[in-house]
């Protein structure tokens, strides 16, 4: 059983003992901790309102009830928007002027997981500092439940995904007419979660002919839900078979998006941000922000365009913080997460799709296989190693591992802001870090050579396993 607590939220596997997995008791405890963190942040308020959304997971229907009962029992009014996406909850918080919001999801993790993503009153994820306060309150149980006279109320608001999409379509940078004129045919893999609702609505609003795959949000994921190449073999086959212009796949809570080329090749999750950044910079020059684990192709683009590039530790909150500091015009993560600050400071697959389709339509419906050739060609290996030690030893063992690696690669340029990133000549690098969302060590390597990227990955994993 697994329970992970990080700046990305709280998530875990279902079942097992309290504190060892994502159980009803843990849900109530962390939800109560979140409410009392919120009340401390707004001390002068007497009445509080929260937005609640959920993805399509089977367990989300049940766990939603625990959250509603907990929030109402703490005197908080709940606006339940039902089946939703993570960015839609952020939009709803802003629209309703709510004090916060919670999305019930485990994001890209498999269907035996679930979790909570928490928002502040700006519709953004909690900062690391605020999340630590929340955890302290939850673990110490510093909260009191309300009397029957002060119980919260429950409200339902439907069609928030539609409102989210209408807000996207109102942006001047999204050209509905030119997309409609392109007469695109697109295959969408909705992984049987809320992407199966949201993405087809968006595409049909843009005049796209939609072919649906796994768009029934019952939560029975037919493949691993993380939108990476090895999990998307079926859509990669169907796109050329159906003579579609491209394919689109999202994760279960729709904050990551990847594209499939017309010939069935994987466009690459790293190139989602690269290509969209290219389009944004054609319209407005300014800084770009991404993470240490993102492809060097994005930095190459910034050099070509003559704009500053900044990298941060992995995680949406780190990217958002830096974007605000440097007034970035676009940012995100190399996993397909797009953050367009003129819309909202948060990853959003739907805004990413609308920007991308505008881009290719303005380029005379350029085939994706040709579009990708406009950018630097790098190969990345993304591997992971399961923790082979007990939870209370993890931090100490990770520190020891990083110190050993640092000594072994002495003389190389390194970055220690998120694990350790080692730079080599010819734009090659290795990044080793502890995951925010699973009990694993992530190892990313990149090189202009596929063979070298694989070699670096194999070498560093052998060295780690030796320790």
Concatenated DSSP letters of 136-190: HHHHHT---PPPGGG---EEE---HHHHHHHHHHTSTT--HHHHHHHT-EEEEE-
pLDDT tens, 411-458?
A: 999 999 999 999 999 899 999 998 887 778 999 999 999 999 999 999
Q: Which residues of 116-144 are buried (b: 16+ CB within 10 A; e: fewer)?
A: bbbbbbebbbbeeebbebbbebbeeeebe
SS3 15: coil
Q: How far apart are the first and last CA of the chain?
A: 25
Q: List beta partners, residue 259.
A: 248
Confidence band (pLDDT; 50, 70, 90) for 393?
low
Q: In which order are the strands placed within the sheet that holds 154-156?
A: 3-6, 9-13, 113-119, 100-104, 48-54, 76-83, 154-156
Task: Flag whether pLDDT at 160 surpasses 90.
Answer: yes
**Which of 158, 190, 205 is at the close of a domain?**
158
Confidence band (pLDDT; 50, 70, 90) for 15?
confident
Q: How far is residue 240 from each of residues 151, 231, 370, 387, 461, measured CA to CA in Å? A: 56, 17, 15, 40, 36
Distant-in-sequence, close-in-space partners of 196: CB < 8 Å, separation ≥ 6: 56, 188, 190, 212, 214, 215, 216, 217
Do 12 and 77 share a domain, yes or no? yes
Percentage of the chain modeled with pLDDT above 70: 98
**Which of 110, 134, 158 is at the close of a domain?**
158
Arithmetic mean of pLDDT, 269-288: 98
Arithmetic mean of pLDDT, 386-402: 70
Distance between CA 154 and CA 158 in Å, rounded?
Answer: 13
Task: Flag whether pLDDT at 256 surpasses 90.
Answer: yes
According to the model, what pLDDT value does residue 394 have? 65
According to the model, what pLDDT value does residue 435 have? 85
Q: Which of 31, 15, 237 is nearest to 111 (CA)?
A: 15
Do 413 and 267 share a domain, yes or no? no
According to the model, what pLDDT value does residue 390 have? 56
Q: List beta partners, residue 332.
A: 338
CB 312, CB 321: distance < 8 Å:
yes
According to the model, what pLDDT value does residue 387 have? 67
Distance between CA 101 and CA 95 in Å, rounded?
Answer: 12
Domain CATH for 386:
3.30.310.50
Do 305 and 427 share a domain, yes or no? no
Do 229 and 344 share a domain, yes or no? yes
CB 222, CB 192: distance < 8 Å:
yes
Confidence band (pLDDT; 50, 70, 90) for 392?
low
CB 247, CB 273: distance < 8 Å:
no
Do 386 and 367 share a domain, yes or no? no
Q: Pull the structure tokens for residue 317.
A: 């909150």
Do 198 and 241 share a domain, yes or no? yes
Q: Which of 216, 294, 302, 285 is nearest to 256 (CA)?
A: 294
Distance between CA 227 and CA 191 in Å, rounded?
Answer: 9
Do 433 and 364 share a domain, yes or no? no
Q: Which residues of 41-68 are buried (b: 16+ CB within 10 A; e: fewer)?
A: eeeeeeebbbbbbbbbbebbeebbebbb
Concatenated DSSP letters of 435-462: -SSSSEEEEEEEESSHHHHHHHHHHHHH
**Which of 331, 352, 372 is at the close of a domain?**
372
Arithmetic mean of pLDDT, 384-395: 66
According to the model, what pLDDT value does residue 7 have? 78
Question: Mean pLDDT, the chain, as a whole number?
Answer: 94
The pairing of strands 154-156 and 76-83 is parallel
Task: Flag whether pLDDT at 464 surpasses 90.
Answer: no
Do 392 and 428 share a domain, yes or no? yes
Arithmetic mean of pLDDT, 58-85: 96
Distance between CA 167 and CA 343 in Å, rounded?
Answer: 8
The residue assigned the tokens 């679930």 is 114
According to the model, what pLDDT value does residue 391 have? 56
Distance between CA 82 and CA 119 in Å, rounded?
Answer: 16
What is the pTM (predicted TM-score) of this model? Answer: 0.95
Do 56 and 200 share a domain, yes or no? no
Do 201 and 301 share a domain, yes or no? yes
Tell me the residue range of the domain where 10 lies.
3-158
Confidence band (pLDDT; 50, 70, 90) for 259?
very high
Domain CATH for 36:
3.40.120.10
Do 111 and 189 share a domain, yes or no? no
Confidence band (pLDDT; 50, 70, 90) for 388?
low
CB 405, CB 349: distance < 8 Å:
no
Split into its structural domains, the chain has a count of 3
Do 339 and 462 share a domain, yes or no? no
Confidence band (pLDDT; 50, 70, 90) for 2?
confident
């Amino acid at each position: 059983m697994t329970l992970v607590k990080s700046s990305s939220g709280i998530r875990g596997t279902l079942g097992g003992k309290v504190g060892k997995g994502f159980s009803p008791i843990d849900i109530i405890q962390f939800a109560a901790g979140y409410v009392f963190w919120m009340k401390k942040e707004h001390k002068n308020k007497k009445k509080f309102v929260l937005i609640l959304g959920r993805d399509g997971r089977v367990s989300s229907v049940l766990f939603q009830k625990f959250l509603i009962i907990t929030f109402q029992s703490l005197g908080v009014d709940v606006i339940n928007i039902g089946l939703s996406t993570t960015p839609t909850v952020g939009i709803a918080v802003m629209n309703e002027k709510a004090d916060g919001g919670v999305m019930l999801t485990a994001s890209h993790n498999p269907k035996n997981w679930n979790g909570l993503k928490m928002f502040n009153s700006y519709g953004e994820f909690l900062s690391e500092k605020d999340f630590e306060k929340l955890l302290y309150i939850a673990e110490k149980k510093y909260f009191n439940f309300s009397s029957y006279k002060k119980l919260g109320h429950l409200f339902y608001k439907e069609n928030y995904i539609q409102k989210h999409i209408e807000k996207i379509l109102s942006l001047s940078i999204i050209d509905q007419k030119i997309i409609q004129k392109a007469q695109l045919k697109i295959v969408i893999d909705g992984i049987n979660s809320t992407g199966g609702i949201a993405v087809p609505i968006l595409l049909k609003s843009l005049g796209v002919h939609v072919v649906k795959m796994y768009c029934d949000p019952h939560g029975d994921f037919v493949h691993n839900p993380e939108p990476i190449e090895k999990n998307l073999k079926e859509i990669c086959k169907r796109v050329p078979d159906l003579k579609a212009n491209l394919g689109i796949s999202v994760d279960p809570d729709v904050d990551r998006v990847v594209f499939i080329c017309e010939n069935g090749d994987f466009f690459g999750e790293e190139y989602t941000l690269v290509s969209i950044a290219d389009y944004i910079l054609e319209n407005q020059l300014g800084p770009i922000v991404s993470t240490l684990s993102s492809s060097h192709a994005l930095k190459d683009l910034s050099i070509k365009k003559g704009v500053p590039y900044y990298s941060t530790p992995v995680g949406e909150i780190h990217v958002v913080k830096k974007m605000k500091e440097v007034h970035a015009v676009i940012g995100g993560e190399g996993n397909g997460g797009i953050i367009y600050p003129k819309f909202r400071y948060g990853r959003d697959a739907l805004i990413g799709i609308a920007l991308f389709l505008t881009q290719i339509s303005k380029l005379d419906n350029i085939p994706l296989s040709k579009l990708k050739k406009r950018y630097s060609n790098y190969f990345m290996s993304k591997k992971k190693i399961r923790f082979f030690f007990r939870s209370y030893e993890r931090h100490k063992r990770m520190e020891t591992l990083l110190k050993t690696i640092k000594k072994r690669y002495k003389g190389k340029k390194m970055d220690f802001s998120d694990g350790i990133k080692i730079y080599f000549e010819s734009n090659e690098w290795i990044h080793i870090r502890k995951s925010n969302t699973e009990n694993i060590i992530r190892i990313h390597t990149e090189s202009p050579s596929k063979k070298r990227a694989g070699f670096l990955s194999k070498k560093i994993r052998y060295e780690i396993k030796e320790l």
